[in-house]
Amino acid sequence: LAQAFQEVLDDYGIADKPLGLTGDNATSNDTQTKILHKLKNAFDEVNRVRCFTHSIQL
């Protein structure tokens, strides 16, 4: 998923635009953030925004 997401960002010329990614607390989202960091060094854990309603389990 991280590779496909990066390709879309590159295709549209907006790879430097996103400031963060919002997602639930699934570990697959942690993995995606780590892979994006390796691909472009643009994303890191500080760019990952966890969904508040998932965090408090609404």
pTM: 0.67
* Structure confidence at residue 13 as a pLDDT band (50, 70, 90): very high
Domain containing 45 equals: 2-55
pLDDT tens digits for range 38-53: 887 667 777 788 887 7
Find the length of the chain: 58
Dihedral over Cα of 32, 33, 38, 40: its sign: positive
CA proximity to 1, closest of 30, 25, 24:
30
Assess whether pLDDT exceeds 70 at residue 17. Answer: yes
Our count of domains for the chain comes to 1
Task: Return the pLDDT at 41.
Answer: 66
Q: DSSP readout, 1-58?
A: -HHHHHHHHHHTT-TT----EEE-S-HHHHHHHHHHHHHHS---GGGEEE-HHHHTT-
Assess whether pLDDT exceeds 80 at residue 11. Answer: yes
